[in-house]
Structure 1
Amino acid sequence: MKEITIKSILKEVLQKEYRNKITFLTGAGISAASGIPTYRGSDGIWVKGTKFHKPEEFGTFEYFLKNPEDVWQFTMFRKKMFLEAKPNVNHELLVSIEKQLGDQFHLITQNIDNLHRRAGSERIFEIHGNNREMKCSNGCKEIIPIPDSISPKEIDEDLLKEEIEQLKCKTCGSWMRPNLLWFDEYYDEKTHKKHSALKVAKNTGVLFILGTSGATNLPMEIARTVLKYGNYVVDVNLENNHFTELLENKKNKLIIRGKSEDILPEILETINECK
């Protein structure tokens, strides 16, 4: 039986005329080297006054409707953290791979930190939204940038009165909300590019999963779609995860336990050789 390796997969996919996209699915592990803590982990717990909030509690639309100012304060605290972070070698290697592949490359990310874009990635789907934009919590359709005049916050720094006014919908007067996917919400096309991401998956020859455990349903659906059409999934993570279970009895899979920054150079080198 032929051994499946990164090199053998890429050589096969790059020779294909159809379903030959090379797609990368990234999560929080990609940004860890930039110093950004994970949202779900213990370092995602937020202290407000004397209250300790777990992400699953305050990262919901239900919580936002009751405590919009608190959620916006935390959002602007996270934005400050993102702005102070810098793209790392993972982001830069993905940009180099995109330059080599052109339209054959796609990047699907669960990260909202904007580091992929700041590094220079262009063919990107932000399926959990982003920290740059906001939309009306009452359903008015426009998605707009968060005003630059609202300053990023320290963890204990409150919003100013004039900043709160800028966070109200100009159409209906309701609170605007961050353009993010919360724990009690569903993926859609407008905000989360669900259908676009699945269309990319359908045309993907190999999906590289980098630094994400598959704890939400769209990433799992993306991987299932790639497998459904007989193509490859490569799981690059430090430990076993939800994708491990999905791939367990599949032939077109490669499981690598290690860091993305150790694997991406091999991917880039192989693409350069084949190109």
Structure 2
Amino acid sequence: MENQLENIIQQVWHKEKRNLFTFLTGAGISSDSGIPTYRGIDGIWVKGTQFHKPEEFGTLRYFRQHLEEVLQYSLFRKKMFENAFPNQSHYDLADIETQLQDRFHLITQNIDNLHRRSGNQRIYEIHGNNREIKCSNGCKEILELPTEIKGKNLDEDLTDHDKELLTCTQCGHWMRPNILWFDEYYDEKTNKKFSALKIAKNSGVLFIVGTSGATSLPIAIAETALKYGAFIIDINTEDNNFTDLIRNKKKCFNHPGKINRSIESDKNDY
């Protein structure tokens, strides 16, 4: 497989068109940083005596019914992300970007900011991020979460000052995290949908790292890359939603194993 990877990288490097090196990452790449997956058992939100699955509370509908609770959870996640550190996979991707410059693109489903903290800049956060907020009533501006709003422990409620800072100055409605919830659709403004698909179309190779492809846009990215002739390298430890898509395809390969080790191996080929 290592010789195949080297040959693929050399082929893509010498192409004049559709020659981007694109990485699509998910929660698995942050697992070594101690961040649990959103859908896993650690993603269950416990409030009082109630246990909520992400598919229930991670929705715009639930937010409108339980505003403060969802914002409290978002600030709990903020503290978790701030206390985590990028791992070797993040730093390897930052190193690869340094080498490839504008031939490198990173499409991530993660909202944890670890790619940015490790040094990556050409990032498309297709599920939004935990750094920003926007009006839940549809006012257009996307804002940085005020620095005065701190991360919370599980048992900490919003303060009056938090509530003031989380009120839209244009319409008076609550602000919300700038992330994609389960009952929402991908768009360009928050999710860079069309930019991500354009990158996929112009990719020479797509590396799929630490994601099972449980949502529609990551699958569409892989389908688009495949349609326009890209190599696809699936770096995941288990079969996933990409497995059937790339099975028996001439330019698609599974590269199972530890994510850190796989990226480190690929990096040496650039």
Does the 8 Å contact 1:135/1:141 carry over to 2? yes
Which residue in the other structure is 2:180 paired with? 181
Give the number of equivalent residue pairs. 270
Measure, in 1, the Cα distance between the counterparts of 2:250 and 2:232: 10
Which residue in the other structure is 1:221 paired with? 220
Q: CA deviation at 1:184?
A: 0.5
Which residue in the other structure is 2:99 paired with? 100
Q: CA deviation at 1:4?
A: 7.6
Measure, in 2, the Cα distance between the counterparts of 1:194 and 1:201: 11
Superposition pairs of residues 136-175 of structure 1, within 5 angstroms: 136-175=135-174
Given residue 241 of structure 1, which amino acid in structure 2 is its aligned partner? N
1:37-86 CA-to-partner distances (Å, cap 9, x unmatched) read 00000110011111111111000000001011000000000000000000
Q: TM-score, normalised by structure 2?
A: 0.98
Is 1:57 equivalent to 2:74 in the alignment?
Answer: no
Given residue 13 of structure 1, which amino acid in structure 2 is its aligned partner? V
Is 1:249 equivalent to 2:248 in the alignment?
Answer: yes
Measure, in 2, the Cα distance between the counterparts of 1:161 and 1:148: 15
Which residue in the other structure is 1:267 paired with? 266
1:186-218 CA-to-partner distances (Å, cap 9, x unmatched) read 000000000000110010000000000000000
Is 1:11 equivalent to 2:5 in the alignment?
Answer: no
Q: CA deviation at 1:136?
A: 0.4
Does the 8 Å contact 1:127/1:194 carry over to 2? yes
Given residue 194 of structure 1, which amino acid in structure 2 is its aligned partner? K
Which SS does the other structure have where 1:153 is aligned?
Answer: coil
Q: CA deviation at 1:267?
A: 1.3
Given residue 67 of structure 1, which amino acid in structure 2 is its aligned partner? H
> What's the Cα RMSD here?
1.2
Which SS does the other structure have where 1:69 is aligned?
Answer: helix
User: Structure 1: where are the runs of 5+ without partners?
Assistant: none
Which 4+ stretches in 1 moved above 2 angstroms? none
Percentage identity across paired residues of the two chains:
61
1:192-247 CA-to-partner distances (Å, cap 9, x unmatched) read 00000011001000000000000000000000001001111110001000000111
Does the 8 Å contact 1:98/1:105 carry over to 2? yes
Given residue 255 of structure 1, which amino acid in structure 2 is its aligned partner? N
Given residue 142 of structure 2, which amino acid in structure 1 is its aligned partner? I
Given residue 216 of structure 1, which amino acid in structure 2 is its aligned partner? T
Given residue 242 of structure 1, which amino acid in structure 2 is its aligned partner? N
Q: TM-score, normalised by structure 1?
A: 0.96
Superposition pairs of residues 231-250 of structure 1, within 5 angstroms: 231-250=230-249
